[in-house]
Amino acid sequence: METWSEVAHVQPLASKIIINSMKKDRISHAYLLQGERGTGKRAIATLIAKGLFCEKNEIADPCLECNTCKRIASGNHPDVHWIEPDDKSIKIEQIRNLQKEFTYSGMESDQKVYIIDGAETLTVNAANRILKFLEEPNKKTTAIMLTENSQAILPTIRSRCQVIDLRPLHPGEFQQQLIEKGLDQRSAILISAMTNNLQEAIDKSHDESFATARRIVIQLVEILLTNPQDVYLFIHQHWVTHFKERNEQEEGLDLLLFAIKDILYYQIEHEAGMVFFAPSDELLKKAAMYFSQEKLLASLQAVLQAKRKLKQNVHPTLVIEQLTLQMQR
């Protein structure tokens, strides 16, 4: 999303509030944009910054063509500062460095913007430090905080920001966006169940590693169906060697969860809820005939337990071994 008209299609209320503020020259000194991943937080923050700095001083939409707009888009504008989690949290040193930057005059104007992405990850010390920053706002400083978890934001920080709630994306609308970007319908349905971030979804659709992950899950279901005695060998030859990183392991379990759910949905004739298999898939039909609902429900619970164990740092190979053993019974 590069224009307010595009944002308005997805977040009509948020775009209306911000555009009206800009037209009346009443931009808040601090915003808190809260919403699920993919709801447009970064795009909106970038548009606010462009609106404040655009060389053509476009109110409704920045021009996107001037040197300033281009540098903000690429993250290279000296007066627009992005703060993101260092590892898993935003630390006090990052906020100290930000505050030090703001003691200097703007490089190209007297306006400065800082954007804190993942504001819910601020450590306690960092949150208290940013609170002090918000309590003494400079007239030409705009803070924009982005969060997926508003409950993790200190109430004292929330009270000093204009809070803008972003509505969740409608799955059908998001799938249509993906189809318009060239994805086939089945891929759009599956990928939209995994992420509601447009660029991430498009990248995933072109990722050979994701395509391989999908095939491995299909093969695992097939082996459980036809040769369950070979499942242990299969996971060591294919699953463990492909899903190496933590995010890949979690993605593999998510895909397996979708596959099992689809088999259950097919049994109860709820095809509208299916995301992994096409309703006409022969493997799906065979699996629905083979596995009992009791077995499928137990398998779903086993996958969810495996996801919890991964988060508890249990060794991933042990996690998948235990999972397949439970599904094999």
Ordered by where they begin, the domains of the chain are: 4-168 (3.40.50.300), 207-328 (1.20.272.10)
Q: For the chain, what percent of residues have pLDDT higher than 90?
A: 66
Q: How confident is the model at residue 9 (pLDDT cuts 50, 70, 90)?
A: confident
Q: Which pLDDT score is estimated for 311?
A: 82
User: In Å, how far are 32, 224, 288, 305, 323 from 299, measured between CA atoms?
Assistant: 40, 12, 14, 10, 8
Alpha-carbon separation of residue 86 from 76, 83, 130, 325 (angstroms): 19, 9, 16, 38
Q: Give the model confidence (pLDDT) of 67-115 as tens digits.
A: 999 999 998 999 999 999 987 789 999 999 988 887 776 667 778 999 9
Average of per-residue pLDDT across 223-250: 94
* 11 has pLDDT over 80: yes
Question: Average pLDDT, stretch 7-23?
Answer: 90
- Centre a 10 Å sphere on the Cβ of residue 267 and count the other Cβ atoms it contains: 15
Average pLDDT over residues 174-199: 89
Using the predicted structure, report yes or no on whether residue 59 has a pLDDT greater than 70. Answer: no
Cβ pair 36, 42 in contact under 8 A: no
Q: Mean pLDDT of all residues in the chain?
A: 90
For helices 171-180 and 185-194, angle between their N-to-C axes, nearest 10 degrees: 130
- pLDDT over threshold 80, residue 53: yes
Print the SS3 string covering 63-107. Answer: CCCCHHHHHHHHCCCCCEEEECCECCEECHHHHHHHHHHCCCCCC
Burial class (CB in 10 A: 0-12, 13-18, 19+), 33: buried
Tens digits of per-residue pLDDT, 242-295?
999 988 999 999 999 999 999 999 999 998 889 999 999 999 999 999 999 999
Across 121-142, average pLDDT: 86
pLDDT for 289-326, tens place per residue? 999 999 999 999 999 999 999 888 899 999 999 999 99
Q: What is residue 122's three-state secondary structure?
A: strand
Output the pLDDT for position 60.
66
Token pair belonging to 223: 């082996």
Mean predicted confidence (pLDDT) in 164-168: 90
pLDDT of residue 139: 67
pLDDT per residue over 106-123, tens digit each?
Answer: 667 778 999 999 999 999
**141: pLDDT strictly greater than 90:** no
Which residues make beta-bridge pairs with 114?
Answer: 81, 143
Confidence of residue 6 (pLDDT cuts 50, 70, 90): confident
CA–CA dist 311, 89 (Å, integer)? 17
Q: Specify the pLDDT at position 198.
A: 80
Task: Say whether pLDDT at 185 is over 90.
Answer: yes
CA dihedral 290, 211, 304, 89 (to 10 degrees): 180
Give the per-residue pLDDT at 151: 86
Is the per-residue pLDDT at 137 higher than 80? no
Whether the predicted pLDDT of 32 surpasses 80: yes
pLDDT of 125: 93
Q: Of all residues in the chain, what percent carry a pLDDT higher than 70?
A: 97
Distances (CA, A) of 232 to 191, 215, 237, 238, 290: 28, 17, 9, 10, 20
Token pair belonging to 1 = 């999303």
